[in-house]
């Protein structure tokens, strides 16, 4: 039974961390569009690939 309680505490801690991360994401503002091709081009230029 103590093992079950410990597992529940671990799961609860994970759930609380997830909720906190979601709140941070929501409060960070609106999302912006990501241009994957531009990103790859920038990385190729930056790293001389």
**pTM for the complete prediction?**
0.56
HSE value, Cβ hemisphere, 13 Å, CA-based, for 2: 0
Look at the chain and report how many structural domains it folds into.
1
Given a contact cutoff of 8 angstroms between Cβ atoms, the answer to whether 47 and 41 are in contact is no
Task: Output the pLDDT for position 15.
Answer: 96
pLDDT band at 1 (very low <50, low <70, confident <90, very high): low
Summarised one tens digit per residue, pLDDT across range 7-38 is 799 999 999 999 999 999 999 999 999 999 99
* Cα-trace Rg, the chain: 20
Task: Output the pLDDT for position 18.
Answer: 98
Note down the domain range covering 18.
2-47
Q: Could you tell me the two tokens for 34?
A: 């990501």
């Amino acid at each position: 039974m103590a093992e079950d309680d410990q597992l529940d505490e671990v799961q609860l801690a994970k759930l609380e961390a997830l909720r906190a991360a979601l709140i941070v994401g929501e409060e960070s503002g609106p999302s912006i569009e990501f241009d994957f091709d531009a990103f790859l081009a920038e990385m190729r230029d930056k790293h001389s690939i």
